[in-house]
Amino acid sequence: MAAKRILVIDDEADIREVAQLSLEIGRGWEVLAAASGQEGIELAATCQPDAILLDVMMPDMDGPTTWQRLQQNPATQTIPVILLTAKVQATEQRGYAKLGVAAVLAKPFDPVKLADLIAEVLRWDS
């Protein structure tokens, strides 16, 4: 089975780096990284990742706005999106879930478990 390709969209360089290392080491996945929503939208359209890890809180274009733009593009609307957020209150989690994203993961995440969590959420092991 070919390695999965994951796009990480986060404005924090250290988060992108930790996620990239944990996914490459944990599962051998190819990881693409974008520092902004706009960059992520462009990369998603050209590279067609198998899934997108998307930070909620970013300057210029936040995660929910990025998600909506991805949904408006036929080339990216079927790519599963997992939101990463430091806001873990139940009401906010439910609001994000209503967007139609594949999952909402809390930051900080456990780098050792991140790849397995993504595989479980997207049912890539079954």
pLDDT value at residue 1: 60
5-120 folds as Rossmann fold (3.40.50)
Lowest mean pLDDT of 4-8, 53-57, 88-92, name the range. Answer: 88-92
Q: Percent of the chain scored above 70 by pLDDT?
A: 98
Amino acid in position 6: I
pTM: 0.94
Task: Return the domain boundaries, the chain.
Answer: 5-120
pLDDT 10s digits, 60-114: 999 999 999 999 999 999 999 999 988 777 777 778 778 889 998 988 899 999 9
pLDDT value at residue 61: 96
Average pLDDT, stretch 39-61?
97
53 within 8 A of 15, measured Cβ to Cβ: no
